[in-house]
Structure 1
Amino acid sequence: MKVRRVSLHNFRGVQHGTVMLEGHSLLVGRNSVGKSTICEALDLVLGPERLFRRPVIDEYDFYAARYQEVDAVLPEVRVEVVLTELSPEARRRFNGRVRRWSTTTADFVDTTPGALEVADEEGIEWCLPVVFLGRFDPAEDDFVGGTFFAHPQVVTDDLTDEPAQLGGGLKPFTREDKWLCGFLYLRANRTGSRALSFQRGSLIDTIVRLESRTEGSLWEKALRDVGAVTIADDDSGFAKIRTEVRRRVGRFLTLTDDPDAVDLQVSELTREHLREVLRLFVATQPGAHGVPFTRLSTGSLNLLVFALLTYIAELKGDDTVIFAMEEPEIALPPHAQRRLVDFVLKRMGQAIVTSHSPYVIEKFTPEQLVVLSRNTDGALTSTNVVLPADFKRKKYGDNRRQFAEAVLARAVLVVEGATEAAAFPLIADVLDQDATLDYQHIDLAGVSLFDAGGDAAVPLFAPVFAAMGKPVYGIHDTPTSPLSADATAKATDFTLYEVIPHAGVEKLLVQEVPVEVLRRFAAQIPARADFDPAWGALDPAATDDDVRKYVFTALKGRKGTEGYVPLLLAQCSGVAELPASMAGFLQRIDTDLRDDPPPADPGAQPDAP
């Protein structure tokens, strides 16, 4: 069973919107766009324990916190989920509640004209639509919510009170129904204080109930074991206290003849009290002493929570689990992030992940990326990334880390090589420090640099990033051979595009950087350990042309991110000393991004509670 479509109405920062998912999915987009909102919405619909919380929803779960009656109508939170790839067991259990779904149109068959006649053809499958509904109840001065089968829709008349009831007569989608969906949710804001306790709805409580189905009630045995613990035995100092308490209490209260008429127990011997006092103890290296889980580090807690979720997944059947996971990278080193994501993608039926880590993102293919966007009216949309048909998969694989970082960015600047990739951030540093300019550094603007590996390759990436809905900028020097017609056509997808009128970044620098800066640079490099003695030292009386030739030789001799270009740019102070072509392009990017800032949603609420 997999989530295929999620539709939201009036939930948190989303007034309305639909997200389409294809198997494993990585939700990406700017901060507060709604990634966590999607996960929370899925938990409302599919989470077996979510509706046990009180209140189920609150004021800020409504768009713009508007929940009071307007024009005799109460605003309603509505989250509808379509589940596909139903198992035979699900088909049997939900018979009469399923609908036909077209994998071609990504919609119900009976909404497509003429589709019912071809309902048995290839590309048609059964799906299960379910819906969460929530609203404010003025009579109770509280919020109510519930999950229902969304099909069939019950037709009611105006002579009954049925339409006024939550769900309008739809059949409830019960906790037992939800168990069959196998939904698990790993939140980003997690301390483990509740998830790792034995309280109702916690991860451990879920495990206890799953194991009790095959092993019998685990609480019964736990109560017997706890009741058998002796605290005030003859060797205990508590024995005297117990005796004295019994003697004095016996003067005023008739006790039984049982010698244990007054006793000490470690618990009230009820299930609820055991839930409150039981604690998970964990001993981690390099220490050997077990401590309550609340004393563990943040990273250890995160992994412990994840480990319990995998335990639940195994009890349910890994390949049947829908696993929603927010920011698995929190407090984890890169190798742990990769291992965690590898496990989820290989073992779970469907993984729905949000992340800001390139180590996580690089584990997903482009087709698994779902780009979210939301406008100022709270309309949420999703776009699945589709690589151009002529874009070689190997090119994506070779640049996987760069692609992962670009996915996280607000915009992408494609450059032709490592030297340029090292130069542009340094030029941005100088622009940012120039008090005469109103300039925002590319890092603050959310621009990711992408090394295309050659001037002719720069245009090839324009349609790739444009398909992700990002502003994409391209710049390279004049190629030795004219660009192909195909590359020229792809370059039209750039938001801004510039071909520098120089045959190489080194030629550009020696022509556009003021000669006095070049002289300062030339005077310093002979003292470096990587200086080539064959270059000799620059004559202080050298002409401007000789200075440019000398510096050009040094720059060509030491290329790349660790070469001499960064050293030269470090000599620049202020925009007047920077290469005009490169500095000007960065300023144009700055202007373009300021003219089209990320939308500020007036109805936005925090994504996660």
Structure 2
Amino acid sequence: MKVRQLTLQNFRGVRTGTVSLDQQSLLVGANSVGKSTVCEALDLVLGPDRMLRRPVVDEFDFYGARYQETQGGLPEIRLQAVLTDLSPEAQRRFGPHLRRWNDGSQSFVDTAPGAIEQSEAGQWALPVVFLGRFDPEEDDFVGGTFFAHPQAVPDDLTAASTELGAGLMPFKRDDKRLCGFLYLRPNRTGSRALTFQRGSLLDTIVRLEAQAEGAPLWEKVLSDVAAVAVAAEGSGFVKIQSEVENRVGKFLALATEADPVDTRVSELTREHLREVLRLFIATRPGSHGVPFNRLSTGSLNLLVFALLTYIAELKGEESVIFAMEEPEIALPPHAQRRLVDHVVRTMGQVIVTSHSPYVIERFTPEQIVVLDRSTAGAMSSAGITLPDGFRPKRYTANQRQFAEAVLARAVLVVEGATEAALFPVISDVLDRDPDPSLKDYLHIDLAGVSVFDAGNDVSVPLFAPLFKAMGKRAYGMHDTPTSPLQADLAAKTGDFTLYEVIDYSGIEALLVAEVPVAVQKRFLHSVAARPDYPAEVGRLTGECTDEAVRKQTVAVLKKRKGDYAALLIAACRNRAELPASLAEFLLRIDRDLRVTPPAPPSDEATQEPDDHGSDPSGS
């Protein structure tokens, strides 16, 4: 079973929107675009223990925090998930609530023209919906999950009910358990998830193990704890207990059997045990066990993940829908990769949000879902499709760079490692220049510009169509190639937002021509003491002509590509000392990013939301 489509209405920052998901889906997008909102919506629809939280929703779960009655109706949160790839057990259990689904059109078959003729087309799917709203009479929020199909239609003799989910059958906790939804939120785990309280991870494990073993686990624990003698022989509690018995016996008729006054660990009910039971963990390099909540943030995240994999195994891993929010928090890169590889390999469906290139690089372009949200609250999702003629091998060879570009607002494509190292340092100099004309300049890191090394000048245009297809502003720059670009390559440059060919045959030639000689001298004197300085080119000595300094700079830069060019730029103190061609290109990028592109027309953005939660799928 997997979630194929999620539709959101009136939920948090999303007024309306639809997200399509696959077996493995990586959700990416800018901060606050709605990645966590999607995961929270899935939890409300499918999380078996989510309804235990009180209140189920609150004021700020409604779009614009508008939850009071308007225009004669109460705003309603509506979150609908379409579940496909149903197991035979699920089809038998949910049979009356299933509808035929067309994966290609992402819609139900019975809503399309000629639906009767296509009644056997597509696959069976289960639409379920969470509804939430404010109840003025109870001065509280209510919410519940329901089968979205079939929906009873009131006739002329029956007034339409105003109850939440009227006309829909409840999708109960046991129904949700069959879906196998698990949700990992490392940054919001809290301590409760690792206790034995109701709805916690450990409570779920105890319940599943009890079902699997057919043994009453809690009863065994209760009897074991009851057998613990707190006031045993040799304990100081024996005297206290005896004195209490003597004094109380003067005023209260005690039982005649031995030890009418006893000291026990607790009232010995399940609820008390849930409150006091704790996992103790001993981690290396130490050996002393401590309560789980004393572990580091990274260790806690891994502990939560380990328990979720335990639950997944008990449920049957292939039946699990696993949502994982920002697994990179407090974890080193190797742990991020291991964690993601494990869930992708073992779980039935994986839905991940991330800002880490180490996580993103584990997914193919087809598995990446780019989320966007308009100022009017309309959410959209789009996949990444490689342009015609773009070889997948080229994507694989640059996977780490692509992972960073996926997270970026814009991409600057350059021809080599030296240029890739130069532009961030040029931006450093512009950023700290006190010149009033640069007071509004925004560093490319803060502007969200990722620098992409294409490998050579003729490869730069190849990436323009890809980044344009990803919805990124793409900027390209390279030096003059030895021969003119072929017509097909030249045509691709039209996909760059800004594109420039510098009038030099190499970056070293540009630097020595445009960086002042005084800066080059500072650079040569500063790097001369470095252990990696190329001794074979000699060192600058005495009074040298400008031409001698330039020759020396070229020789050093060609011997030590990349890092040394960045050191030359770092020796610049302001914009006047920077290479003008490169600095001006960055300033053009800065100006371009300040221009907000016109928003495409959207029916969703202009329609008024249905405060009564009408079903967009026609259920």
Using structure 1 for the length normalisation, give the TM-score.
0.94
1:543 shift after superposition: 4.7
Q: Which has the larger displacement, 514-523 or 459-468?
A: 514-523
Structure 2 distance, partners of 1:365, 1:331, is 24
Letter of the aligned partner of 1:13 in structure 2?
G
Whole-angstrom distance in 1 between the partners of 2:279 and 2:530: 59
| Distance in 1 (alpha carbons) for counterparts of 2:219 and 2:534 | 81
Question: Which stretch of structure 1 is more off in the superposition, 17-26 or 547-556?
Answer: 547-556
The answer to whether structure 1 residue 271 and structure 2 residue 270 are counterparts is yes
Deviation at 1:159, TM superposition (A): 5.3
1:3 alignment partner in structure 2: 3
| CA distance in structure 2 between the aligned counterparts of 1:356 and 1:61, rounded to whole angstroms | 24
The residue aligned with 2:612 is none
Q: State the partner residue of 1:321.
A: 320
CA apart distance, 1:566: 1.6
Partner of 2:506: 504
Distance in 2 (alpha carbons) for counterparts of 1:81 and 1:357: 27
Identity over the aligned pairs, expressed in percent? 68
Counterpart Cα distance in 1 of 2:115 and 2:45: 28
Question: What is residue 95 of structure 1 aligned with on the other side?
Answer: 95
What RMSD over aligned residues (CA atoms) do the two structures have, in Å? 1.9
Q: Is the 8 A contact 1:190 1:302 kept in 2?
A: no
Q: Does 1:61 align with 2:61?
A: yes
Following superposition of structure 1 onto structure 2, how do residues 66-215 of structure 1 map, counting pairs within 5 Å? Answer: 66-121=66-121, 124-157=122-155, 160=158, 162-214=160-212, 215=214
Correspondence list, 1:134-533, <5 A: 134-157=132-155, 160=158, 162-214=160-212, 215-436=214-435, 437-438=438-439, 439-522=441-524, 524-532=526-534
Return the alpha-carbon distance in structure 2 between the equivalents of residues 91 and 531 of structure 1: 71
Structure 1 counterpart of 2:14: 14
Aligned to 1:606: none
Alpha-carbon contact 2:319-2:348 (below 8 Å) kept: yes
Q: Which moved more, 1:53-62 or 1:568-577?
A: 568-577
CA distance in 2 between counterparts of 1:179 and 1:530 reads 62
Please identify, of 254-263 and 6-15, the stretch whose mean Cα deviation from structure 2 is larger.
254-263
How many residues align? The count is: 596
- Residue 550 of structure 1 and its aligned partner are, at CA, apart by 3.6
The one-letter code of the counterpart of 1:183 is F
Amino acid at match of 2:59: E
Measured at CA, do residues 167 and 107 of structure 1 come closer, stay the same or move farther in structure 2, by a change above 3 Å?
Answer: same
Distance (whole Å) between structure 2 residues aligned to residue 83 and residue 308 of structure 1: 25
Preserved CA contact (<8 Å) 2:100 2:120: no
State the shift of 1:162 in Å.
4.6
SS of the residue 1:133 aligns to: strand
How big is each residue's C-alpha offset from its partner over 1:14-51, in whole Å with a ceiling of 9 and x where there is no partner?
01000001111010000000000000000000000000
- Report deviation, 1:213: 1.3
SS in 1 for 2:188: coil
- CA shift in 2, pair 1:348/1:160, >3 Å: same
- 8 Å contact kept, 1:129–1:150: yes
Per-residue CA deviation, residues 420-444 of structure 1 (Å, 9 max, x unaligned), is: 0111111101100111112111111
AA at the equivalent of 2:151: Q
Moved more, 181-190 or 7-16: 181-190
CA distance in 1, matches of 2:531, 2:590: 38
Find the residue that maps to 1:19 and give its secondary structure: strand
Q: CA–CA distance in 2 between the matches of 1:444 and 1:339?
A: 30
Conservation of the 8 A alpha-carbon contact between 1:406 and 1:448: yes
Q: Give, in whole Å, the separation in 2 of the partners of 1:583 and 1:157.
A: 71
Contact 1:192–1:301 (Cα < 8 Å) also in 2: no
Contact 2:416 2:453 in 1 (8 A): yes
Question: Is residue 534–residue 560 contact of structure 2 (8 Å, CA) maintained in 1?
Answer: no
What's the CA shift for 1:11? 0.3
Q: CA deviation at 1:335?
A: 1.2
> CA offset at residue 240 of structure 1?
1.4
Structure 2 CA distance, aligned partners of 1:537 and 1:243?
A: 93
**Is the alpha carbon distance of 1:81 and 1:519 closer, same or farther for their aligned partners in structure 2, counting shifts above 3 Å?**
same
Partners of 1:571 and 1:323 in 2: CA distance: 50
Partner-residue secondary structure (3-state), 1:380: strand
Instruction: Write the distance in 2 (CA, Å) between the matches of 1:142 and 1:40.
Output: 20
Please name the residue that 1:607 is paired with. none
